[in-house]
């Protein structure tokens, strides 16, 4: 029988957590309750009390109360809950975890979930699921999120539907857990869809031939964060970061981004990385909302009803080069940069709507002035989607494998 950890503030949500407990029992699993309350006492029996949680934060519950404000208190509780949950996971005493909450409970749960291993079932039942309040970089790459509709306080038929579905999701995840028998090292590749970037069509089979598995991350805000969380977990042998649009999005005011630290994690963790400026022709925005203020009045081209984009100017591409260059020079691991003078995606070919020779040259002159040894700088005349690009990428990759840099 699988053990499911339920995390919540049991002082204010005893009815809801008790309902979840019974749902999990009905689904033939064993619920384990962790109370992350600060002030009140639970109305039901729990397995780990607020005092246990405080102890794992190297504090007492009274010391947490004495912090004097709810934000600091919840941060302290999150620290304890995170350490306790990780210990239970490492000792194989739990098979999955589900947390519920509003903004406070969600904030705590994101801390708890972030360091749990890839593939360990984790479900967040939140009143703000899908909200822009949640920073993309705080979301684990394999989290299940469910909107807790009508459930801020008290049980009702609407919130019972959310609670029961969430319990079914976490139980199902523990029972159908993928057992990864793959022994191949993983190469992480960033990309957009093949209407813009096509190198993945060639790279995937070529990496497979070389005994590697490729994982492609869609750089629309969540993809870059997911990749970098896996780098932190030690799951990635090498990175091919060829779609950097999340960086221009962040710095030019678009919500379609992966946060300020994008492109810094591989270098910090000394993971070999080959980088190219794919997608740095545009800034993305939501089709259904107003564009970033800096881009009001620009000609936006809808990709679909979700995402639209506008071309970057020469000065904006130069600024993007400055940002990227300054990130890469901090790298502590092997780093190579490939500059495709023929354009950064299929929209950046001569005659296409985003093509701008001056912008390409502005980017090149700036990035070239920043990137120095030991970063290796390569140039091709062609577009990033042309065969010459994948040829030089595979040449660098093969050299690094031969020299034992990539293992």
Per residue in 205-223, pLDDT (tens digit) is: 999 999 999 999 999 888 8
Note whether 3-175 and 186-402 share their fold: yes
* CATH code for the structural domain at 3-175: 3.40.50.12020
pTM of the model: 0.86
Query: Model confidence over 156-172: pLDDT tens digits?
Result: 988 999 999 999 999 99
Task: Reduce the DSSP state of residue 151 to 3 states and report it.
Answer: coil
The model's confidence at residue 152, banded by pLDDT at 50, 70 and 90, is confident
Across the range 344-366, mean pLDDT stands at: 97
At residue 255, the pLDDT reads 84
Across the range 135-152, mean pLDDT stands at: 84
Q: Do β-strands 282-286 and 307-311 pair in parallel, antiparallel, or remain unpaired?
A: antiparallel
The maximal CA–CA distance of the chain, rounded, in angstroms, is 69
Domain 186-402 is of which CATH architecture?
A: 3-Layer(aba) Sandwich (3.40)
- Residue pair 47/139 in contact (Cβ under 8 Å)? The answer is no
Across the range 98-113, mean pLDDT stands at: 95
For the sheet containing 122-126, what is the strand order?
Answer: 30-35, 3-8, 96-101, 122-126, 144-147
Alpha-carbon distances, residue 104 vs 75, 128, 297 (angstroms): 9, 10, 38
Whether residue 325 is predicted with pLDDT greater than 80 in this model: the reply is yes
What are the residue ranges spanned by the domains of the chain? 3-175, 186-402
Q: Which of 383, 395, 397, 392 is nearest to 198 (CA)?
A: 383
Tell me how far apart the alpha carbons of residues 245 and 278 are, in angstroms, rounded to a whole number.
Answer: 7
Across the range 218-241, mean pLDDT stands at: 91
- Please state, rounded to an integer, the average pLDDT across all residues of the chain: 94
At residue 181, the pLDDT reads 62
- Residue pair 74/38 in contact (Cβ under 8 Å)? The answer is yes
Count CB neighbours of 392 within 10 A. Answer: 19
Alpha-carbon distances, residue 169 vs 2, 125, 145, 163, 385 (angstroms): 13, 10, 10, 10, 40
> What percent of the chain clears pLDDT 70, i.e. is strictly above it?
99
Least reliable range by pLDDT among 59-63, 176-180, 233-237, 353-357:
176-180
At residue 179, the pLDDT reads 72
At residue 138, the pLDDT reads 84
Across the range 370-377, mean pLDDT stands at: 96
At residue 201, the pLDDT reads 96
At residue 291, the pLDDT reads 83
Tell me how far apart the alpha carbons of residues 273 and 24 are, in angstroms, rounded to a whole number.
Answer: 44
Phi-psi region of 311 (alpha: psi -120 to 50; beta: other; left: phi over 0): beta
Task: Reduce the DSSP state of residue 365 to 3 states and report it.
Answer: helix
């Amino acid at each position: 029988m699988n053990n499911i950890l339920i995390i919540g503030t049991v002082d204010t949500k005893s009815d809801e957590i008790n309902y979840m407990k019974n749902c999990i029992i009905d689904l033939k699993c064993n619920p384990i309750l962790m109370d992350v309350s600060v002030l009140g006492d639970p109305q039901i029996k729990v397995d780990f009390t607020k005092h246990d949680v405080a102890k794992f934060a190297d504090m007492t519950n009274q010391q947490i109360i004495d912090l004097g404000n709810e934000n600091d208190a919840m941060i302290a509780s999150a620290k304890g809950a995170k350490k306790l949950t990780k210990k239970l996971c490492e000792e194989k005493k739990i098979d999955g975890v589900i947390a519920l909450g509003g903004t406070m409970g969600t904030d705590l749960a994101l801390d708890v979930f972030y360091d749990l291993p890839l593939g360990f079932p984790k479900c967040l039942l939140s009143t703000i699921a899908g909200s822009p309040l949640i920073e993309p970089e705080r979301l684990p790459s394999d989290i299940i999120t469910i909107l807790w509709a009508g459930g801020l306080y008290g049980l009702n038929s609407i919130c019972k539907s959310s609670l029961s579905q969430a319990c079914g999701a976490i139980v199902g995840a523990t029972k159908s857990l993928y057992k990864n028998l793959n022994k191949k090292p993983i190469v992480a590749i960033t990309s957009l869809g093949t209407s813009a970037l096509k190198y993945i069509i060639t790279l995937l089979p070529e990496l497979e031939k070389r005994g590697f598995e490729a994982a492609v991350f869609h750089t629309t805000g969540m993809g870059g964060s997911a990749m970098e969380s896996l780098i932190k977990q030690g799951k990635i042998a090498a990175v091919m970061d060829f779609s950097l649009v999340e960086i221009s999005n962040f710095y030019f005011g678009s919500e379609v981004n992966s946060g300020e630290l994008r492109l810094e994690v591989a270098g910090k963790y000394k993971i070999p990385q080959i980088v190219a400026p794919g997608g740095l022709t545009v800034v993305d925005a939501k089709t259904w909302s107003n564009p970033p203020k800096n881009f009001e009045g620009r000609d936006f081209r809808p990709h679909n009803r979700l995402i639209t984009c506008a071309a970057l100017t020469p000065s904006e591409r130069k600024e993007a080069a400055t940002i990227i260059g300054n990130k890469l020079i901090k790298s502590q691991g092997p780093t190579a940069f490939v500059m495709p003078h023929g354009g950064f995606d299929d929209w950046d070919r001569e005659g296409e709507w985003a093509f701008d020779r001056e912008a390409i040259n502005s980017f090149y002159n700036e990035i070239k002035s920043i990137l120095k040894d030991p970063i290796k700088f390569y140039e091709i005349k062609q577009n990033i989607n042309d065969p010459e690009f994948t040829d030089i990428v595979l040449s660098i990759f093969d050299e690094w494998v031969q020299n034992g840099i990539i293992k």
